[in-house]
Structure 1
Amino acid sequence: MRGILIFLLCACFDIGYAQVADTIHYQLPDYADSIQSTVQKLKKKPILAAAETFGLNMVVWDADYLSGQDFAKINLSTMHNNLKTGFMWDNDNMSTNLFLHPYSGSLSFTSARANGMNFWQSLPFSAGGSLMWECFMENQPPSTNDFLATTFGGAMLGEILYRLSNSVYDDSKTGSARVLSELAGFIFTPMVEFNRIISGEAFRVRHRPQNTIPALPPVHLYLNWGGRFISERSHLFQGSYGLAFGLRTVYGDPFDESNYKPYDWFTFNLELNVGGAQPVLNTANAVGLIWGKHVDMPRNQDAVIGIYQHFNFYDSDPIAVSGSEIKPYQVAETVSFGPGMLYKLNTENNRMQFVIKSFTSLVLLGATYTDHLKLPDREYNMGQGFSINLDANLAMQKIGDFGIKIYNLNLYTWKGYPLNVDYMHQTEEQNNYLNTEGDKGHSNLFIITPTLNLQLSPSLSLMIEQRRFIRIAHYVYYPNMTYATFDSRVTLQYKF
């Protein structure tokens, strides 16, 4: 229903602004966008993009208000109070704060992308949409973590989805093939498809000589399905069983020297669960190149150094069959940037390939499960820190590949809460002003993931993966805690 309302309201904004936007010439900074040359040049329409961002917020607020959400009951007094109070840390659940807010930001970001803006020019639209919502569209204080997640996480997710949608559109197709192409684009980026419909691009057929169409960056898409098991405190047979589904994509070639503009190379992984009283969204990972430089190496070797943006999200619920109230893991790295290096070694006959990826990042917004803070929707600490990510993979033709990933997140929770506050017996409104990152202290998270991928055919493989989670929590006012567990997935993987 929200999606339909968003679509209809944005249509009204587009009808109102399209004529104005098309008659004004905008002088925006020049920027060589690597994928802009693969589609017809888009005229920059910042006013239209801003109108769509405004319309998105208004439609979502309207849906919340009509459904009776208390936070949507706003007036001039609540707006003034929000501006007077300033930004605070909020208490929403982790999936809302650290995944859905980035997705919300991606809608504003891709609206700007669809209206001719490049990556950097689109970033203010996700920031502006977030500021509008946080300051004026709720009767709760503006949220620091929501602004960070919506702005920077939204830009990352938005650019990934925009490029994926750009790879599926084909204006030369007609009939059912064209409908499927437009539908796939809508799934990736609703706002891009909305702009294509309003402008008529979704229905216009173009035939261009093949030699005049620039080559798109390579896109590899993998779907997997099978079973998964989440253990309770590392017990082999005590845990949660369910079905596992996943989507993984690798976009671009990082060792191609022409692919060093923002997000010319990225990887994106999404894992879903069904059954076992576990969250549907279990895992989301992404890493994207912001800036890169090729390093000259001896024969059969390649290396790239650069600056990368990272996103990691792991979520679980307590194991119902064991009666435990502890969540096996909750980890998030939502806003994170830092240096990294990619290295590739090929054998003489290319039958074997060895790839190493290493990254170190400054984490501006992250989260991890806590043993002490227990609010109705929140049992995790937020904070800042750094992460280290190592990934080694050995691939052999017609056999498969073996990989090992080592991930370490060091998260510092600086802003605690007054110990004399009984937040368990406070009202929801009082807890809205608790303004805490969580239990003051430091958490050290390790995720060690060996993966075996056996090739069954050129397109089909059997993938076996086990992740070991280790959490070491040091609290300032509470006893320290250590927790370890694992989860496993056995899936069939199909490569498109």
Structure 2
Amino acid sequence: MTHTKTFFYSLFLLFFFVYSSAQQLDNSNLENQITLISTDSTSVVVNEIKTALKDSVNTTTSNYFPPLQKNDSISIDFPPKTRDYRRLGYNSTLYLGAAVVTFGALWAMPESFTHWDKQAMKDQGMFYKWKENIKAGPVWDQDSFSMNYLAHPYCGGVYYMTARSSGFNIFESFTYSAIMSTFFWEYGIEAFAEIPSIQDLIFTPVLGSVVGEGFFYAKKKIVKHDKRVLHSRFLGVTTLFLIDPFNTVLDGLGYKEKVKTQMNIAPVGFDANSNKTVWGINFSASF
């Protein structure tokens, strides 16, 4: 059973490492300036419009999009000032996606490795073994010390950080860790392979929350130093992924709580033929 459980966690983390390593993990603001010009005249002095438009765009850009200082970016990004339910929902969806991939990979492996009775599951239904294990548990398992008291608290810390980095407090993050470790893992994915464990039900959320709060302060320190560890961006981003993989994936995909937009109407030129001012609409979006 130890090999099965080790494979679960290894594949689970490997999936997100491969997925996130393909993304650009440097969260810099991309500012796109889109200028739309409308005119009430068919004949316009082209050179005058170009000059006025350039001045208007430069002025608008400097007014609405001043250069972000490093400390300003840090204070906006982490830690969140409010609970971000949308971010937590995305993270939970990633968990479910990883569960589907993990289950499919284990189903393709030989029974000698997974200890799944595939024939019985086919004859009596996919959830046959799962229901049998649920009825039999929880039990005091015989897994190794490293599995019960190192691997499981680490995973509990990852659950905890998923909520903590989404703006939730200590108690709420502990509750999320307990729910995920109990219903998502012990009575969910892992129950297809083995009986739920008493140690795992206790130590994963309890010790995991202690570990997770340590991860939280470590992440604040790393983010404060421009995502660097020992002056290395690679070590910084790698550490962030190890202590908070799901939020790191979302940030790598460019997740933002809000897309900021600005729109204004301003004169952009003068029509000499009609003796009228040409007005333009300037739309700015910051992603």
TM-score for the superposition, normalised by structure 2:
0.51
**Deviation digits for residues 138-160 of structure 1 (CA, Å, limit 9, x no counterpart):** 33211111111211122111221
Confirm whether residue 91 of structure 1 aligns to residue 142 of structure 2. yes
Alignment counterpart, residue 173 of structure 2, candidates 119, 122, 125:
122
**Equivalent pair of 1:48/1:115 in contact (CA under 8 Å):** no
Q: Is the 8 A contact 1:50 1:125 kept in 2?
A: no
Which residue pairs with 2:96 in the alignment? 54
Q: Residue 88 of structure 1 contacts residue 144 of structure 1 at CA under 8 Å; is this kept in 2?
A: yes
Looking at structure 1, the residues matched to 80 and 186 of structure 2 have their Cα atoms a distance apart, in angstroms, of 36
Q: Is the 8 A contact 2:134 2:187 kept in 1?
A: yes
Partners of 1:186 and 1:112 in 2: CA distance = 15
Letter in 2 for 1:145: Q
Shift of 1:183: 3.0
Structure 1 gap segments, 5+ residues each? 12-34, 202-496
Q: 1:149 aligns with which of 203, 225, 246?
A: 203
Aligned residues: 177
Match of 1:79 among 121, 124, 130: 130
Distance across 1 between alignment mates of 2:226 and 2:147: 39
Q: Name the SS of the counterpart of 2:253 in structure 1.
A: helix
Query: Match for 1:6 among 16, 30, 36?
Result: 16
C-alpha separation in 2, matches of 1:37 and 1:67: 42
Cα 1:40–1:113 change in 2 (3 A) is closer
* Structure having the larger proportion of residues in strand: 1
**For residues 146 and 65 of structure 1, do their structure 2 counterparts lie closer, same or farther at Cα, with a shift above 3 Å needed?**
farther
Query: Which residue of 180, 192, 213 maps to 1:159?
Result: 213
**Secondary structure of the equivalent of 2:194?**
coil
Cα deviation for residue 114 of structure 1 reads 2.4
Residue 84 of structure 2 aligns with which residue? 44
Select the residue among 110, 114, 121 that pairs with 1:70. Answer: 114
Cα deviation digits, residues 187-225 of structure 1 (max 9, x gap): 433233223212357xxxxxxxxxxxxxxxxxxxxxxxx
CA contact (8 A) 2:156 2:181 kept: yes
Query: Which of the two has higher C-alpha Rg?
Result: 2
Q: Deviations over 1:401-452 (max 9, x none)?
A: xxxxxxxxxxxxxxxxxxxxxxxxxxxxxxxxxxxxxxxxxxxxxxxxxxxx
Q: Distance in 1 between matches of 2:240 and 2:196?
A: 33
Deviation of 1:168 (Å): 0.8
Cα distance between partner residues in 2 of 1:156 and 1:98: 13
**Matched-pair contact (CA < 8 Å) for 2:152–2:200:** yes
1:113–1:119 Cα contact (<8 Å) kept: yes
CA contact (8 A) 2:136 2:195 kept: yes
Aligned equivalent of 2:61: none
Shift of 1:173: 7.4
* Alpha-carbon spacing, 1:7–1:87, altered in 2? closer, same or farther (3 Å): same
Indicate if the aligned counterparts of 1:161 and 1:188 stay in contact, CA closer than 8 A.
Answer: yes
- Give me the identity figure in percent: 23
Give 1:112 deviation, angstroms: 1.6
User: Does the residue aligned with 2:196 lie in a helix, a strand or coil?
Assistant: coil
d(CA) in 2 for partners of 1:79, 1:44: 33
CA deviation string 1:330-378 (max 9, x = no partner): xxxxxxxxxxxxxxxxxxxxxxxxxxxxxxxxxxxxxxxxxxxxxxxxx
Contact 2:79 2:165 in 1 (8 A): no
Question: Which residue in the other structure is 1:359 paired with?
Answer: none
Could you tell me which amino acid in structure 1 is paired with residue 187 of structure 2? C
Runs ≥4 residues deviating over 6 A: 8-11, 35-38
What do you get for the CA RMSD once the two structures are aligned?
Answer: 3.5
Q: Structure 2: which 5+ residue stretches go unaligned? A: 1-9, 22-74, 257-287
Name the residue aligned to 1:134.
Answer: 186
| Equivalence map 1:458-473=2 (5 Å) | none
**2-structure distance, mates of 1:168, 1:183:** 11
In structure 1, C-alpha distance between the alignment counterparts of 2:98 and 2:165, rounded to whole Å:
15
